[in-house]
Amino acid sequence: MVQSALPVPSDTKNRKALIIGCSYYESNNPLSGAFNDAWNVLSLLRHTLQFSESQVRFLVDGSRRCPMPQPRRPTAAVITESLQWLTQDAQSGDAIFLYFAGYGLLLPHGVGTFESCLVPIDYAAMASPPHDTGSGYRLIPLMDVSLALSKLPAGCQATVVLDCCHSSLPGVGSASQPAIFHWAQMQPPAFAGLEEDLPEGFYPKARRLVLPSVPIQTPRSMQAATFNCSLTCFSACQQAQWCAELPIEGVMQGAFTWAWVKAMVANGGVIKSPTQMKGSVEANSMLE
């Protein structure tokens, strides 16, 4: 990636990127590939696309042997503050980039309806405002991500890449993904049964977290998000599909992130619209 460094676009005024990788190593359900994914995306931005150090905020929890300092760990509070950093003071001509690798989750929202959430590393801690979704867990609703991006002005280009299950960003796509939706039966995972052929520690794992259901006392009012900026979202899968981390090229990594980075390199590092980018289906969909 260092040798393939590309010139900084001349028509871009300012660039900001937020990269989040959640390994959950302190929980009983850790992920092995999210840190590798975040590091690969950081390398792509810093070396190939030549983002400066001050333009990128890198949030990962690390590992038991090498934990990250508290201000750079992807807790609910740090992610929320970093989303504000990412979107504040944006002007026309700026480029904004958001990446997340970790668990996605469906949060019950009334009878038979749900909303999608990103799962920070402190999801099981006692929730309190403003991170209390009404469920008792600390979560980052994708609706809140949409609302943060809706503050970006016209002429600003925003790109979102989500490598987790239930990763359709509300308000984006040809069908305009709703914030609240009915349950769709998950399809059988394509990676089921691969464990028999792999060594220990290299087992495929779905990036979908299921938590004990806690009745929501007071469902949140949902404010529709409308976007003035040019927004493209690359999601790992649709609502009833799975995404997973797999042993690829000798290490555990998210299959979607691996494909997305490959597509970026194949397209000369240019973030194109989903209908133009080779290998993509549509906004809020998956790379084939």
DSSP-derived letter for residue 60 is E
Residues 6+ apart with CB under 8 A from 45: 17, 19, 51, 56, 97
What is the model's pLDDT at position 259?
94
What is the model's pLDDT at position 215?
58
What is the model's pLDDT at position 286?
42
Query: How many CA within 13 A on the CB side of residue 110?
Result: 12
What is the model's pLDDT at position 15?
95
- Segments in the chain below pLDDT 50: 1-2, 273-288
> Could you give the CA distance from residue 60 to residue 234 in angstroms, rounded to a whole number?
21
Q: What pTM does this model have?
A: 0.86
Phi-psi region of 250 (alpha: psi -120 to 50; beta: other; left: phi over 0): left
Q: Which residue has the tokens 């998950």?
A: 186
Q: Residue 56: beta bridge partners?
A: 17
Longest dimension (CA), the chain: 54
> Could you give the CA distance from residue 50 to residue 9 in angstroms, rounded to a whole number?
10
E-strand stretches of the chain: 15-21, 56-60, 95-101, 104-108, 113-118, 140-141, 157-163, 181-182, 205-206, 230-235, 244-248, 251-254
Amino acid identity of 179? A
What is the model's pLDDT at position 34?
96
Handedness of CA 56, 26, 24, 107 (dihedral sign): negative
Q: Enter the CATH code of domain 15-266.
A: 3.40.50.1460
Q: Residue 247: beta bridge partners?
A: 252
What is the model's pLDDT at position 279?
33
In the chain, where the domains are located: 15-266
Sheet holding 251-254, edge to edge: 205-206, 244-248, 251-254
